[in-house]
Amino acid sequence: MKNYRKSLPPLDSLLFFHAAARNKSLALVAEELFVTQAAVSKRIHRFEEWLGAPLFTRQGRNLEITEAGKALASDVEIGLDFLDRAIEKVKAQSSP
């Protein structure tokens, strides 16, 4: 069995990235995730450092997604959808 803790970033990084890729605004991401803009910026920056690749260019509080970011966003969306469906199956089985 693969040790995902060694090969994947913290999974909340994917949620922050996903929200940023859709919203392209730190303010909107912060509002969606109930955190501050600074927290969003810091989390995205750490994720970029972990990857070793820029995912966004920044202009003030606005984000412009890079080509690498676009490619990753597509795959992250698929992965999150897959996890969401898997969780829903288990939740549905345990509900009356």
Alpha helices by DSSP H, 24-66: 26-33, 37-51
The secondary structure of residue 44, as a DSSP letter, is H
For 9-62, write each residue's pLDDT tens digit.
999 999 999 999 999 888 999 999 999 999 999 999 999 999 999 999 988 767
- pLDDT the model gives residue 54: 96
Q: What is the pTM of this model?
A: 0.87
CA 74 to chain centre: 11
Q: Is the pLDDT of residue 75 over 90?
A: yes
pLDDT of 1 higher than 80: no
What pLDDT is stored for residue 94 in this prediction? 64
pLDDT of residue 63: 84
Whole-angstrom Cα distance, residue 16 to residue 72? 13
Helix (H) or strand (E) segment spanning residue 64: strand 62-65
pLDDT for residue 95 is more than 60:
no
Buried residues in 37-48 as b, exposed as e (16+ CB within 10 A): eeebbebbeebb
What pLDDT sits at residue 96?
60
Q: Where are the domains of the chain?
A: 9-94
Q: What's the CATH architecture for 9-94?
A: Orthogonal Bundle (1.10)
Say if CB 55 and CB 69 are below 8 A apart. yes
